[in-house]
Structures are given as C-alpha cells and as structure tokens.
C-alpha cells in the first residue's frame, strides 16, 4: 500500500488509526483521542495529524496505528501505549519496538507494513484505499483519483462504450453466482420498460463474513462512484443501497458519503453539468439471511416480506416494481471505477482465464492471522492459509477450509494447492460465494460443522418452498441424531438423497446450496460419520454425547481448581489428594479442562466406554 499522496504544508507525519468495526470495538477511537491529546501536550499539533481510517484488514491485531509516510505498523495499541508511542516515534524519531508486529515462531519485529506476510502477498484493487484515507472526507477520496472515472464516462464515453469496457474486463459478480457484470448491464439496458433501477446488495449475513461491510466503512465513495457509472450505462436514475441495520458504522458512513457527493454535485440532478440525473437511497435490512437473494431483497425494498420468487423473469427484465433492475454487490460496484480508469486490459491481465481480477476473503477460524484479504484469482488455498494467514495456531494440523459462507463446501487438505476461481471451487463441491473462508484444524468435528451450518441455513430459510423448508429440517434432525450417538445404518445414504433433492428442487440459491456442507463432509470425511454411527465415537472429541471428562489420578495434585469452578459440583475430593468427576452430574461444559493448570494436565477429554 502506498503512502498518502499529499499532506498540507507543515505536516511531516500522519498517524492513521484504524476505525473499522473490529478496531472500534477494541476502543480505537479512545486511542485516537489519546493520540490527539498527547500530540497537543507535546506541542506537535502543527506537525502531526491523527486520522481515523477504515479497516486495515489485519483485524486480529487491532487497534492498528500506521505512521506515514514511513509505513510503520503498530498493533494492539491501547490508551496506555500512547505516551510511549509518541515519545519513541515522534520525539526520538525511532520506531516503537514494543508495539510492532512479531510473526509466530520468530523474535524479530517487522516495522514496515509492506514487509509483513499478511500484507505483502495481497493485491489491492477494491481495497486500494483501505486504511489510507478518511472515509468521511470526500476530498481525500478525490485526492486519490476519486470520481475521475465518473467524469471520464460522462464526458467522453457512451453508455454502450462503458458496457463494452466492463464486458471486456471479464468482471464477474462478486456476490456468489459469478455472472458476467457487463453482460448483465447490457441485458438491463436493452430490456423494455422505464424507469430502470440499480441496487447495491450489501446484505452480508454469512457467519464470519465482513467483506462488504468493511468496504462500505472504509471506502463508501468507491461504491457510490461505481453505481453512478453503472446507472449511466444502464439508463437508470434511481438506485438503492441495501445494507443490514446491524452494521451501524457502515450505514453512517454511506449516508454521510451520499450527502457529501450531493453537495459536490456528484449525485442528484445535472451531475457535473452533463444533464445526467441519479439519486441513491439507503435501505436498511432487518437481518434476514434470505434477503441476500436478489428477488427476496427486492421484495424487502418494496416493503413486502423478503421471500424469493421464481425466475425467469430475471430482475434485469422485471425487478423492482416490475421494472428492469440491475443488482450487483458491494465488491462488484467498487471494482468499476478503477476498471474504467486503468482499462479493461489491465484488469483482465490479473487472475485466471475465466476468473479475472481479485477477490476479497474474510479469513477466519483456526488461523493465526485473522482478517480481510484481497488476492488475485488463481492464488492457491495454501498460499492464503500459510503465506497470508500465517498457518494454524499451536502447530495444529490443517483439516479443512470452508469457502462460500454457510452454504459452501468443506475442502480437505488434499486440495490445498487448488487455485481459487469460480470453476475450480465448484468442481470440488464448494463455491466462491461472497468470500467467506473458515479454516478448521485437527480438533474440528466435521459432522458437527456440517450440522452447525445446515442448522443456520435451515433456520434462515423463508419457508416458501417445500424442498428447502422440509428437506433441510429432515437433514438437521438426522445430523442431530448422529452427533447424539443415535445414528443408524442408512443415515448417510438418506442424507445424500435428501441433500441432492433439496439442491435440485429448491426455489432460490439458499436451498440450492444449503446441503453443500453435508454433502462435501460426507464425501471427504466419511470415516468420521461412520465412527459416530457405528462406533459411537467422535474422533475429534467434540460432540458432547460422545465424550467424557475424567481426571488422571497420576497427574492430579489436588489443587482444587476444577472443583471450585464446576457449576454442578460434580467434582469431589480433598485438597492435595486426587479428585474425581461424577459422570451422572457432569454436564460436559469443559470448564474443568480449561481451569486445570497446563503444567499438570490432569483433566482429560476421552471417549466413554460403551
């Protein structure tokens, strides 16, 4: 990431404080206020600026402060660290070593952001402005070439030329299906009926996913500019940004950005004096996962219950209020301005033959470096998990990764070198989805994982179509029975049969993909299902009905820690003597295991005798 382009005369340094949701929840605004006060106290207010930016991506290390133009990366900064940081970096002119990033298994801190493995393997297009500008200041966006693409299309390109450029770039929708963006625009422009609408789908409800939210928080003007260009190309005068109400910071910054764009003549009537009119309205979703499906989303905007409808007709033919409507997600819209500025050939040179450009992933789960990453299409899972993600904590063994959100498939270790693109993920039973990526280690029970995700989609089903409503419910009931130790012969065949029928007969994408976690875990981890059903064992020692907690008499020193913390008083004994667990009272909460001193390790999790 490059440094800030310009600073007002007199300022020698910027302190960029991450103010994305993750860092804000870790008190980054308090850190920002403390920095401002300390800088004034030291008389540096005319030399140093403190700026709240969007998400820096390395969420697990927040609050983050970056000193520019030197690109010094400070992590996990607290209010108490501020005097030390100011003294070392601003007064003495040397990096504050105690706040630097230190990689796992190494003792040498890395000062520069671009040298940290998490950042240096990424390729930023959509996230090009992350962490380098104030998302609530339109002038900073303009300073980084903001709205130049809009000016270009309004003054020197016809709508057809804009559509052709997007088609030539190979940009595919980043919301999950991967439909060609330029083709969708072309179909919408050619559709009969007026007015025409465009929608930004920011209804991001996947567990562990925060890609769209972070883009809206960090760079809302890039999305607005993309929508303006799309509206010009399609012939629309009204647009909607549909974003979850659970994302208050994103909502606030989008609304503020829309107000600023209007004030600057970049939104509304006669934009840039060209006669082009376009208005955007923010609609806040109530949190229904199914509203991420485009027809359900449109129903919600219209004020109806968010339920999918059959297609065709597709939204480009009959969408909002029966009029042609183009829907793209946040990431797709944010790609548009830079494609127009730098050209389709530049964009299409990145990625693979059929999957151009980059993709944003939220990297979470059993991974050392949790955060938001943008990588070129075609990068392997291994490169993301180990080069960027830093590998698995505590030297545990990698077991699987789920891509594509709760409806994505679980990919085993043998596919770690799989290049990430739309087709390759589909071939192994998963999907790109909106970009969720959940890493699992050897201690993960794949049967329990499948149950968790299917239970989520089953609860989020709108219930409109029978295959999804009843099929997912039946599958969850079978999985519950298996993890409770009551699985029986024929359960696997029944799960596969129901799963295939749900995929084939469901009305919308939720039902059509919901069985993926079950089907892929049966395909790649069948031995775990067999152990649960035939042997009544959970190999990962996760499923409560199939495990017990015991105390090793040879390791117990009678320290009393387990007995003091047991909520059901199932642990008895005398101090400095061996304690025992009454299995009839044990609720298998695992507190005894967590409080047992590691140096003793007396509490064990085991498979009970049948």
Please state whether beta strands 603-606 and 548-551 pair in parallel, antiparallel, or not at all (unpaired): antiparallel
Reply yes or no: is the peptide bond before residue 63 cis, omega within 30 of 0: yes
Identify the architecture of domain 13-116 in CATH: 3-Layer(aba) Sandwich (3.40)
Q: Is the pLDDT of residue 225 over 80?
A: yes
Mean pLDDT of the chain: 93
Angle at 122 between CA 164 and CA 202, to 5 degrees: 60
State pLDDT tens for residues 182-194: 999 999 999 999 9
**How far is it, in rounded angstroms, from Cα 2 to Cα 69?**
9
Q: Is the pLDDT of residue 208 over 80?
A: no
Task: For the chain, give the percent of residues with pLDDT over 90.
Answer: 83
358-441 CATH fold: Ubiquitin-like (UB roll) (3.10.20)
State pLDDT tens for residues 414-467: 999 999 999 999 999 998 887 889 999 999 999 999 999 999 999 988 888 999
CATH of domain 138-347: 3.40.50.11540
State pLDDT tens for residues 60-105: 898 999 999 889 999 999 999 999 999 999 999 999 999 999 987 7
How does residue 106 score in pLDDT terms, banded at 50, 70 and 90?
A: confident
Domain boundaries of the chain, sorted by first residue: 13-116, 138-347, 358-441, 446-535, 547-606
Spatial CB neighbours of 320, under 8 Å, sequence gap ≥ 6: 197, 199, 240, 298, 301, 302
State pLDDT tens for residues 471-522: 999 999 999 999 999 999 999 999 999 999 999 999 888 899 999 999 999 9
Domain 547-606 annotated CATH 3.30.70.20:
yes
Q: Is the pLDDT of residue 1 over 60?
A: no
Mean per-residue pLDDT for 132-157? Answer: 95
H or E segment and range at residue 114 = none
Q: Is the pLDDT of residue 599 over 50?
A: yes
Q: Is the pLDDT of residue 119 over 60?
A: yes
* Strand arrangement of the beta sheet that strand 436-441 belongs to: 371-376, 358-365, 436-441, 398-403, 410-412
**How far is it, in rounded angstroms, from Cα 50 to Cα 30?**
12
Coil, strand or helix at 284: strand
**How far is it, in rounded angstroms, from Cα 156 to Cα 145?**
17
Class of the CATH-defined domain 446-535: mainly alpha
How does residue 610 score in pLDDT terms, banded at 50, 70 and 90?
A: low
How does residue 197 score in pLDDT terms, banded at 50, 70 and 90?
A: very high
Q: Is the pLDDT of residue 287 over 90?
A: no
State pLDDT tens for residues 326-382: 999 999 999 999 999 999 999 999 999 999 999 999 999 999 999 999 999 999 999
State pLDDT tens for residues 243-265: 998 899 999 999 999 999 999 99
**How far is it, in rounded angstroms, from Cα 326 to Cα 196?**
8
Ranked by mean pLDDT, which of 150-164, 402-416, 456-470 comes out on top? Answer: 150-164
Q: Please, what's the b/e burial string for 550-573 (b: 16 or more CB within 10 A of its CB; e: otherwise)? A: bbeeeebebbebbbeebeeebbeb
State pLDDT tens for residues 541-574: 999 999 999 999 999 999 999 999 999 999 999 9
SS3 of 452-497: the string is HHHHHHHHHCCCCCHHHHHHHHHHHHHHHHHHCCCCCCCHHHHHHH
In the numeric block, the tokens 């596919």 are attached to 415
C-alpha distances (whole Å) from 2 to each of 64, 71, 482 are: 17, 8, 53
pTM greater than the 0.85 cutoff: yes
């Amino acid at each position: 990431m490059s440094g800030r382009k310009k600073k007002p005369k007199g300022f020698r340094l910027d302190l960029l404080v991450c103010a994305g949701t993750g860092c804000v929840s870790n008190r980054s605004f308090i850190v920002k206020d403390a920095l401002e006060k300390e800088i004034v106290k030291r008389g540096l207010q005319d030399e140093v600026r403190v700026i709240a930016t969007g998400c820096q991506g390395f969420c697990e290390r927040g609050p983050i402060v970056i000193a520019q133009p030197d690109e010094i990366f400070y992590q996990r900064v607290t209010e108490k660290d501020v005097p030390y940081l100011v003294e070392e970096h601003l007064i003495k002119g040397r990096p504050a070593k105690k706040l630097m990033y230190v990689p796992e298994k190494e003792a040498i801190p890395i000062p520069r952001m671009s040298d940290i493995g998490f950042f240096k393997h990424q390729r930023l297009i959509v996230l090009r402005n992350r962490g380098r500008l104030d998302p609530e200041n339109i002038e900073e966006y303009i300073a980084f070439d903001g709205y130049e693409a809009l000016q270009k299309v309004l003054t020197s390109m016809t709508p057809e030329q804009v559509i052709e450029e997007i088609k030539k770039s190979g940009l595919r929708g980043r919301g999950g299906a991967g439909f060609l963006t330029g083709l969708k625009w072309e179909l919408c422009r050619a559709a009969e009926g007026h007015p025409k609408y465009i929608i930004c789908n920011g209804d991001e409800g996947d567990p562990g996913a925060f890609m769209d939210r972070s883009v809206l928080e960090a760079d809302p003007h890039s999305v607005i500019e993309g929508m303006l260009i799309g509206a010009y190309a399609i012939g629309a005068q009204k647009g909607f940004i549909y974003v979850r109400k659970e994302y208050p910071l994103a909502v606030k910054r989008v609304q503020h950005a829309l107000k600023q764009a209007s004030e600057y003549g970049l939104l509304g009537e006669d934009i840039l004096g060209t006669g082009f009119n376009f208005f955007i309205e923010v609609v806040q979703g109530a949190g229904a996962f199914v509203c991420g499906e485009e027809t359900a989303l449109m129903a919600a905007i219209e004020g109806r219950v968010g339920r999918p409808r059959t297609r065709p007709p597709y939204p480009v033919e009959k969408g909002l209020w029966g009029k042609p409507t183009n829907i793209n997600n946040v990431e797709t819209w944010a790609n548009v301005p830079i494609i127009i500025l730098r050209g389709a050939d530049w964009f299409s040179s990145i990625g693979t033959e059929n999957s151009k450009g980059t993709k944003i992933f939220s990297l979470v789960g059993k991974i050392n470096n949790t955060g938001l990453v943008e990588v070129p299409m075609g990068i392997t899972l291994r490169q993301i998990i180990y080069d960027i993600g830093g590998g698995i904590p505590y030297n545990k063994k990698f077991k699987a990764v789920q891509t594509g959100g709760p409806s994505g498939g679980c990919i085993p270790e043998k596919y770690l070198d799989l290049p990430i693109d739309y087709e390759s993920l589909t071939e192994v039973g998963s999907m790109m989805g909106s970009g969720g990526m959940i890493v699992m280690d050897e201690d993960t029970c794949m049967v329990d994982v499948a149950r968790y995700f299917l239970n989520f989609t089953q609860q989020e089903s709108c219930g409109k179509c029978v295959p999804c409503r009843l099929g997912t419910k039946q599958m969850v009931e079978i999985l519950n029975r298996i993890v409770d130790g009551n699985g029986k012969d024929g359960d696997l065949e029944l799960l596969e049969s129901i799963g295939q029928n749900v995929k084939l007969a469901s009305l919308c994408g939720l039902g059509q993909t919901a069985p993926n976690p079950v089907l892929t875990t049966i395909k790649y981890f069948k031995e775990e299902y067999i152990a649960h059903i035939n042997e009544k064992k959970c190999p990962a020692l996760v499923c409560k009905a199939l495990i017990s907690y015991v105390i090793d008499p040879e390791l117990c020193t009678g320290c009393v820690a387990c007995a003091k913390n047991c909520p059901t008083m199932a642990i008895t004994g005398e101090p400095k003597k061996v304690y025992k667990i009454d299995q009839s009272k044990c609720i298998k909460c695992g507190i005894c295991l967590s409080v047992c001193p590691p140096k003793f390790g007396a509490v064990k999790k085991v498979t009970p005798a049948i």
